[in-house]
């Protein structure tokens, strides 16, 4: 699906109407996961392991079952047998089998007539544990003698001689590193670490599940992708996929963390065991932090060579990432993206996916990319400082552009890195004079984006308004974007389009709203479906006029004869054609089912100014600029919102967010008081510049914009702190105790 | 769990004295209800004292001091212009606790009885020289606030004791107080270090002072050496250095998820100096 023309002119695209779901959300009418209820509903609660690693010897639920109001208790025995691969991983993560693998791992669950009774009942379940040695640090988990999380979990890629906790291995590159480093005037090697960070969505996971003994079920849940939920739940419970219908609620944030399941199979199992009564299950914040996916933590060694005028001659990186007690740390993406911003001849990446006694990692906004950027963009910045070069100039000198072969293989189509660097360079923020203890940091980032299975439907109503049904839950204003694209395609007002998120029974399979794909892929699907409708509408007009359908054109919501030769007819409006639809051939709708692959990657460049209190090590973000390539901003406000959201989450990850484990392997900060996401007053208004280098693979030029924004902040903040303090920090987060200790150490050195 | 709503503090004390299990007093509920919901504490007797007469009153006494009822919220203190003018440090310490919503319910006495060494309102109360009335089996007695906390989560109150009022001394002439806390964020956080300073001037010289540190020891600490370091000085650099050194020396902190021992000792000195400067400026009539 190629771009319609170079830079098309639009009537609706690029405007900023109110979002269609806005009124419901500000009035409290919108229904989120925990808002769904049913008559006769039971309430569930989950018993979780207090141990980081333990054998489960025996579970005795007799006392819980004896409590009045308790209707069902489930353990792993109530789930399907014989699963393998990721299906087994997800099942095992939702309900422990032979071992509890991390603090907070589910071991049993209860359904009762009230939430309080369910909570009391789980305390009555006796579990005999045999605690085992545990490991929660990635480097320790790879070291000789580390406790083995699960023998035989490694796949074919892992070379012999590595610890069994190393479960996947990646290696890629090109050129000759020795030759590249030999050409350099400066070669630097650094070790960097980042901590696990949680997606921090405000809405905890919640669902209402109903499953009968006949294997037919319904599930209402908060998710980014209900077809994924359906597949995962069907596998975990041994159901036929089509017998389960999943309807998504509104979603209070997901950021990748709601592309998988944690409680939904448990709620379904409870319902089945309780005779098919609906069961509501809602996580607490502590459960969210202890038992849902944060992203992986990383330990990285980066080496880079540079000429004295700033040309990168060679780069190599070794990335060790732990994604909890299962395979899946996003080290594949980390290695792919590590040096992807730059045109480097000699490059090499090695990646290790390592298991530890932590919760199973889940996707988090550009999975793996922020860690990669932290290493690359930090070392470039340090080299720029040593060589006395401007950090934006050094990036411009090495930036990739159309036709350059990427460090991960293919040649780049049209991309916008250079445009973002130039826009950052000419922005007012880059020229603001800085005071004492203040510093400016720059970093760029990239995300490939994604297409994926996509199915949509557009139906014409009798009055000529349009109902659009897509399968990608609206996380960031995508209903507004879909409505704008449909309005543009039909040439009808935005208000005449209503966008619905269909359940799993109403469309073909859809991947979740992930990979920054919704506006690109569902948008493309909506445009193509609209075009199919327009074809049918034009045909009805042609038939009414008695002319050839090819002699009809569609313009601004009207069918018109294509020219004088086609005949003289009054243009026919969409409302007029729709009004006669039943008598002219029946319903009119358009559909799209495909896995589009013409997505376009998005580059971004961030500029941040900070001030560091030299006496306390506390960092204040003074101003923050995000420049990013959107391809085409369908609804610029929501594009800016994505830019700002990515920056805000990245700032949190850089400064204060971290998973803190005690000696006992238990998570010490499972509440928002101590897991410190930024609060509103921590951040300045984040300035944005939308760069538009159209994606040649989308009719309107759309690229995904959701994920790139979290990629530059980690290094941008670290670079700014280095500029403010004169001290280079290589371990995140940059908490005040860590920064103050660094400042003191430099003073005493 | 039994819920009680007594009409007098004597009745509240009797209910507590007669309880066979865990007792909690409920005023604002911003600690008790959260602990209850998160299974930290499940009281057998929950005694709601905010229905007792006078618990929502802020009263200026004849001597110029203030009496505060035990259910007066942080928001009510912040909106009381005269109280805030007299004791800006004390009021600001209370105001730092929680969100706007929490401020509508949270109370000084609740913060004190929760027994946290990081309680934001307690250093300011101790620095001001506040006392509390305790109603117990043997009548009502008056106790300095610094005698209430005895350890993390523990107070000197015994079974059947209930705090029935807070008493703030008269501000008097040429006095000023200030409270600062260190948090990594800007709000909605818990003190990693807190410091309150209350002082009085005679000319440019400090004639009286109280320096109190929070979150650096098992309880909030009144640091007499720190007060001595600035009394008799005009808060010159030498006095500030001495103040910082005594503050650091008074710390007996722990390494935990919120901060290291070294960090807390360093920052105690920084906050003591900064808070002393603000209190000094306020004593001179500054509006800071």
Domain with CATH 3.30.365.10 in chain A: 3-29+451-594, 382-446+600-748
Does position A4 have pLDDT exceeding 60, yes or no? no
Which among B39, B184, B262 has the least Cβ separation from residue A618? B184
8 Å CB contact of B262 and A655: no
3-state secondary structure of B183: coil
A741 contacts in B (CB within 8 Å)? 260, 262-263
pLDDT in tens, B61-110: 999 999 999 999 999 999 999 999 999 999 999 999 999 999 999 999 99
Token pair recorded at residue A726: 């004169």
Q: What is the rounded CA–CA span in Å between residue B41 and residue A203?
A: 26
8 Å CB contact of A682 and B189: no
pTM (2 decimals)?
0.97
- Cα dihedral A194/A200/A206/A211 (nearest 10): -30
A652 contacts in B (CB within 8 Å)? none
> What pLDDT score does A657 carry?
98
Nearest to A364 by CA among A33, A135, A163, A659: A659
* pLDDT, average across residues A164-192: 98
* pLDDT, average across residues A430-452: 98
Write out the CATH class of domain A3-29+451-594.
alpha beta
**Domain limits, chain B:** 2-116+131-168, 175-283
- Interface residue ranges in chain B relative to chain A, Cβ cutoff 8 Å: 38-39, 182, 184-190, 192, 256-260, 262-263, 266-267, 270
Phi/psi at A191 (5° precision): -105, 130
Minimum CA–CA partner of B259 in chain A: A737
Which among A669, A682, A737 has the least Cβ separation from residue B185? A682
8 Å CB contact of B186 and A616: no
Does position A117 have pLDDT exceeding 60, yes or no? yes
What rounded mean pLDDT belongs to chain B?
96
Based on the number of CB atoms within 10 Å of its own CB, is B23 exposed (0-12), middle (13-18) or buried (19 or more)? buried
- Cα dihedral A95/A97/A99/A104 (nearest 10): 10
* pLDDT, average across residues A166-171: 98
Does position A203 have pLDDT exceeding 60, yes or no? yes
The DSSP letter of residue A665 is S
8 Å CB contact of A674 and B263: no
Based on the number of CB atoms within 10 Å of its own CB, is A54 exposed (0-12), middle (13-18) or buried (19 or more)? buried
Q: What is the rounded CA–CA span in Å between residue B1 and residue A115?
A: 17
8 Å CB contact of A741 and B263: yes
A615 contacts in B (CB within 8 Å)? 266-267, 270
Four-way CATH pick for A382-446+600-748: 3.30.365.10, 2.30.30.90, 3.40.630.30, 1.10.10.60: 3.30.365.10
Does position A6 have pLDDT exceeding 80, yes or no? no
Q: Among the listed ranges A16-20, A702-706, B62-66, B282-286, which one has the minimum average pLDDT value?
A: B282-286
B248 contacts in A (CB within 8 Å)? none
8 Å CB contact of B38 and A286: yes
Does position B288 have pLDDT exceeding 70, yes or no? no
Q: Is A91 within 8 Å of A149 (Cβ atoms)?
A: no
Other Cβ atoms less than 10 A from the Cβ of A143: the count is 12
B187 contacts in A (CB within 8 Å)? 679, 681
Write out the CATH class of domain B175-283.
alpha beta
8 Å CB contact of B267 and A679: no
pLDDT in tens, B219-231: 999 999 999 999 9
Which residues are within 8 A (CB) of A498 and not within 5 positions of it... i.e. 6 or more apart? Answer: A20, A465, A466, A467, A468, A483
8 Å CB contact of B184 and A676: yes
Phi/psi at A132 (5° precision): -120, 160
Based on the number of CB atoms within 10 Å of its own CB, is B9 exposed (0-12), middle (13-18) or buried (19 or more)? buried
8 Å CB contact of A615 and B267: yes
Q: Is B67 within 8 Å of B61 (Cβ atoms)?
A: yes
B38 contacts in A (CB within 8 Å)? 284, 286
> What pLDDT score does B38 carry?
86
> What pLDDT score does B37 carry?
87
* ipTM at complex level: 0.96
What is the secondary structure of A360-416 as a DSSP string?
PP---SSTTHHHHHHHHHHHHHHHHHHHT--HHHHHHHHB--TTPBPTTSSBP-S--
Minimum CA–CA partner of A120 in chain B: B39
Q: What is the rounded CA–CA span in Å between residue B11 and residue B17?
A: 10
Does position A580 have pLDDT exceeding 60, yes or no? yes
B247 contacts in A (CB within 8 Å)? none
> What H or E segment, with its residue span, contains residue A635?
none
8 Å CB contact of B267 and A673: no
Instruction: Give me the helices (H) in A491-581, please.
Output: 523-545, 574-579
Nearest to A222 by CA among A6, A466, A359, A32: A32
Q: What is the rounded CA–CA span in Å between residue A148 and residue A739?
A: 35
Does position B287 have pLDDT exceeding 70, yes or no? no
> What pLDDT score does B286 carry?
75
> What pLDDT score does A2 carry?
56
> What pLDDT score does A9 carry?
86
B184 contacts in A (CB within 8 Å)? 618, 655-656, 676, 735-736
Q: What is the rounded CA–CA span in Å between residue A228 and residue A52?
A: 28
Find out whether the peptide bond into B78 is cis, omega within 30 degrees of 0.
Answer: no
Q: What is the rounded CA–CA span in Å between residue A451 and residue A594?
A: 9
Other Cβ atoms less than 10 A from the Cβ of B170: the count is 15
> What pLDDT score does A145 carry?
97
CATH topology of domain B2-116+131-168: 3.30.465
Pairing of strands A346-354, A312-322: parallel
Does position A442 have pLDDT exceeding 60, yes or no? yes
Q: What is the rounded CA–CA span in Å between residue B89 and residue B74?
A: 13
Counting other chains too, the contacts that A399-405 makes at CB distance below 8 Å and 24 or more residues apart are A399/A341, A399/A342, A399/A343, A399/A444, A400/A340, A400/A341, A400/A342, A400/A343, A404/A343
Does position B39 have pLDDT exceeding 90, yes or no? no
B259 contacts in A (CB within 8 Å)? 736-737
Mutation site for B-interface testing, chosen from A615, A619, A673 by largest number of B Cβ within 10 Å: A615
> What pLDDT score does B67 carry?
98
Instruction: Give me the helices (H) in chain B, please.
Output: 9-18, 32-37, 74-78, 81-86, 88-95, 100-103, 108-113, 122-128, 224-230, 237-250, 261-283
pLDDT in tens, B193-206: 999 999 999 999 99
8 Å CB contact of A656 and B185: yes
| Reported confidence tier of residue A3, pLDDT bands at 50, 70, 90 | low
Pairing of strands A206-211, A279-282: antiparallel
8 Å CB contact of A676 and B189: yes
What is the secondary structure of A37-86 as a DSSP string?
--TT-EEEEEEE-SSSSEEEEEEE-HHHHHSTTEEEEE-GGGS-SS--HH
Pairs of residues, one from chain A and one from chain B, whose beta carbons lie less than 8 Å apart: 57
Question: Cα distance from B253 to chain A (closest Cα, Å)?
Answer: 14
Question: Cα distance from B263 to chain A (closest Cα, Å)?
Answer: 6
Question: Cα distance from B156 to chain A (closest Cα, Å)?
Answer: 27
Instruction: Report how far apart, in Å, the C-alpha atoms of A604 and of each of A409, A418, A419, A595, A709 are.
Output: 21, 10, 9, 26, 7
How many angstroms from the chain centroid is the CA of residue A382?
30
Which residues are within 8 A (CB) of A106 and not within 5 positions of it... i.e. 6 or more apart? Answer: A46, A47, A48, A49, A94, A95, A96, A266, A291
* pLDDT, average across residues A445-462: 98
Question: Cα distance from B172 to chain A (closest Cα, Å)?
Answer: 34
* pLDDT, average across residues A512-538: 98
How many angstroms from the chain centroid is the CA of residue A94?
20
3-state secondary structure of A191: strand
8 Å CB contact of A674 and B258: yes
8 Å CB contact of B259 and A676: no
3-state secondary structure of A528: helix
Q: What is the rounded CA–CA span in Å between residue B283 and residue A342?
A: 60
Q: What is the rounded CA–CA span in Å between residue A355 and residue A155?
A: 13
pLDDT in tens, A466-499: 999 999 999 999 999 999 999 999 999 999 999 9
8 Å CB contact of B263 and A617: yes
Minimum CA–CA partner of B255 in chain A: A737
* pLDDT, average across residues A206-226: 98
Nearest to B106 by CA among B132, B84, B74, B79: B74
- Interface residue ranges in chain A relative to chain B, Cβ cutoff 8 Å: 119, 284, 286, 615-618, 655-656, 660, 668-669, 673-674, 676, 678-679, 681-682, 735-737, 740-741, 744
> What pLDDT score does A5 carry?
55
pLDDT in tens, A650-701: 999 999 999 999 999 999 999 999 999 999 999 999 999 999 999 999 999 9
pLDDT in tens, B98-118: 999 999 999 999 999 999 999
What rounded mean pLDDT belongs to chain A?
97
Question: Cα distance from B154 to chain A (closest Cα, Å)?
Answer: 21
Q: What is the rounded CA–CA span in Å between residue A256 and residue A521?
A: 17
């Amino acid at each position: 699906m190629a771009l319609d023309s170079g830079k098309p002119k639009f009537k609706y695209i690029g405007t900023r109407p109110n979002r269609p779901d806005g009124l419901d959300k500000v009035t409290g009418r919108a229904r989120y996961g925990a808002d769904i209820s049913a008559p006769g509903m039971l309430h569930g609660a989950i018993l979780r392991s207090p141990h980081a690693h333990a054998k489960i010897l025996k579970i005795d639920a007799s006392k819980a079952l004896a409590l009045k109001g308790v209707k069902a208790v489930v353990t792993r025995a109530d789930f399907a047998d014989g699963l393998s691969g990721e299906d087994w991983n997800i099942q095992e993560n939702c309900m422990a089998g032979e071992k509890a693998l991390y603090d907070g791992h589910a071991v049993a669950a209860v359904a009762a007539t009230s939430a309080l009774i369910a909570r009391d009942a789980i305390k009555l379940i006796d579990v005999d544990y045999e605690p085992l040695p545990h490991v929660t640090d990635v480097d320790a988990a790879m070291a000789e003698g580390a406790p083995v999380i699960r023998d035989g979990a490694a796949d074919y890629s892992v070379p012999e001689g590595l610890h069994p906790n190393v479960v996947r291995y990646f290696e890629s590159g090109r050129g000759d590193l020795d030759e590249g480093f030999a050409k350099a005037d400066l070669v630097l090697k650094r070790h960097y670490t980042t901590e696990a960070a949680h997606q921090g969505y405000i809405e905890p996971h919640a669902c209402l599940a109903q499953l009968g003994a006949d294997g037919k079920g319904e599930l209402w849940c908060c998710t980014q992708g209900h077809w994924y939920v359906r597949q995962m739940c069907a596998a975990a419970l041994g159901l036929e996929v089509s017998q389960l219908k999943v309807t998504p609620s509104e979603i209070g944030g997901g950021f990748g963390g709601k592309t998988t399941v944690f409680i939904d199979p448990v709620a379904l199992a409870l319902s089945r065991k309780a005779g098919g009564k609906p069961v509501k299950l809602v996580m607490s914040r502590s459960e969210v932090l202890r038992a849902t996916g944060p992203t992986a933590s990383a330990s990285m060694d980066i080496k880079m060579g540079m000429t004295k005028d700033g040309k990168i001659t060679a780069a190599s990186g070794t990335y060790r990432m732990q994604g909890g007690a299962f395979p899946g740390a996003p080290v594949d993406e980390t290695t792919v993206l590590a040096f992807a911003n730059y045109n480097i001849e000699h490059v090499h990446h090695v990646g290790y996916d390592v298991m530890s006694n932590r919760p199973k990692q889940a996707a988090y906004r550009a999975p793996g990319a922020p860690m990669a950027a932290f290493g690359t963009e930090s070392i470039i910045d340090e080299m720029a400082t040593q060589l006395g070069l401007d950090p934006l100039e050094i990036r411009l000198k090495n930036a990739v552009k159309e036709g350059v072969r990427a460090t991960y293989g293919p040649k780049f189509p049209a991309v916008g890195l250079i445009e973002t660097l130039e826009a950052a360079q000419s922005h007012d923020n880059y020229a603001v004079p800085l005071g004492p203890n203040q510093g400016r940091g720059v970093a760029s980032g990239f995300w490939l984006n994604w297409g994926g299975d996509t199915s949509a439907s557009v139906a014409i109503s009798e009055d000529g308004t349009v109902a659009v049904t897509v399968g990608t839950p609206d996380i960031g204003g995508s209903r507004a974007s879909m409505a704008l694209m449909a309005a543009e395609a039909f040439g009808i007002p935005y208000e005449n389009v209503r966008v619905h998120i269909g359940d799993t029974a109403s469309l073909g399979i859809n991947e979740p709203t992930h990979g920054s794909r919704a506006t690109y892929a569902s948008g493309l699907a909506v445009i193509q479906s609209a075009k199919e409708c327009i074809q049918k509408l034009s045909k009805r007009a042609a038939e009414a006029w008695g002319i050839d359908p090819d002699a009809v054109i569609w313009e601004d919501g009207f069918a018109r004869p294509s020219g004088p030769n086609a005949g003289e007819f009054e243009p026919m409006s969409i409302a007029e054609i729709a009004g006669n639809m039943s008598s002219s051939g029946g319903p009119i709708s358009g559909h799209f089912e495909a896995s589009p692959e013409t997505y376009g990657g998005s580059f971004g460049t961030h500029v941040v100014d900070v001030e560091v209190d030299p006496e306390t090590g506390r960092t204040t973000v003074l101003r923050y600029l995000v420049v990013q390539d959107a391809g085409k901003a369908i609804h610029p406000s929501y594009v800016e919102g994505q830019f700002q959201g990515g920056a805000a989450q990245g700032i949190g990850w850089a400064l204060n967010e971290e998973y803190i484990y005690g000696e006992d392997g238990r998570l010490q900060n499972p509440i928002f008081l101590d897991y410190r996401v930024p609060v509103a007053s921590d951040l300045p208004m984040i300035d944005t510049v939308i760069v538009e280098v159209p994606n040649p693979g989308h009719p309107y030029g759309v690229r995904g914009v959701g994920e790139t924004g979290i990629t530059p902040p980690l290094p941008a903040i670290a670079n700014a702190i280095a500029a403010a303090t004169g001290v280079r920090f290589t371990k995140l987060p940059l908490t005040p105790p860590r920064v103050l200790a660094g400042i003191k150490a430099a003073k005493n050195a | 769990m039994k819920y009680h709503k007594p009409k007098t503090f004597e009745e509240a004390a009797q209910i507590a004295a007669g309880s066979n299990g865990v007792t909690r007093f409920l005023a604002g509920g911003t600690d008790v209800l959260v602990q209850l919901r998160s299974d930290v504490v499940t009281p057998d007797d929950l005694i709601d004292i905010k229905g007792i007469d006078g618990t929502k009153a802020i009263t200026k006494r004849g001597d110029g001091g203030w009496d505060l009822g035990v259910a007066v919220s942080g928001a009510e203190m912040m909106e009381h212009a005269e109280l805030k003018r007299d004791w800006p440090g004390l009021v600001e310490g209370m105001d730092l606790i929680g969100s706007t919503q929490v401020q509508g319910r949270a109370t000084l006495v609740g913060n004190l009885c929760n027994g946290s060494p990081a309680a934001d309102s307690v250093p300011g109360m101790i620095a001001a020289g506040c006392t509390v009335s305790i109603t117990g089996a043997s009548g009502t007695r008056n106790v300095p606030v610094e005698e209430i906390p005895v350890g993390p989560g523990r107070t000197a109150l015994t079974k059947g004791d209930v705090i029935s009022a807070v008493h703030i001394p008269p501000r008097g002439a040429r006095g000023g107080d200030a409270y600062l806390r260190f948090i990594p964020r800007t709000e909605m956080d818990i003190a990693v270090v807190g410091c309150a300073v209350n002082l009085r001037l005679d000319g440019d010289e400090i004639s009286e002072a109280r320096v109190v540190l929070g979150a650096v020891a098992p309880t909030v600490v009144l640091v007499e050496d720190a007060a001595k370091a600035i009394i008799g000085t005009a808060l010159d650099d030498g006095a500030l250095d001495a103040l910082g050194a005594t503050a650091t020396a008074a710390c007996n902190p722990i390494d935990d998820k919120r901060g290291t021992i070294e960090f807390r000792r360093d920052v105690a000195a920084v906050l003591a100096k900064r808070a002393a400067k603000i209190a000094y400026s306020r004593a001179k009539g500054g509006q800071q």
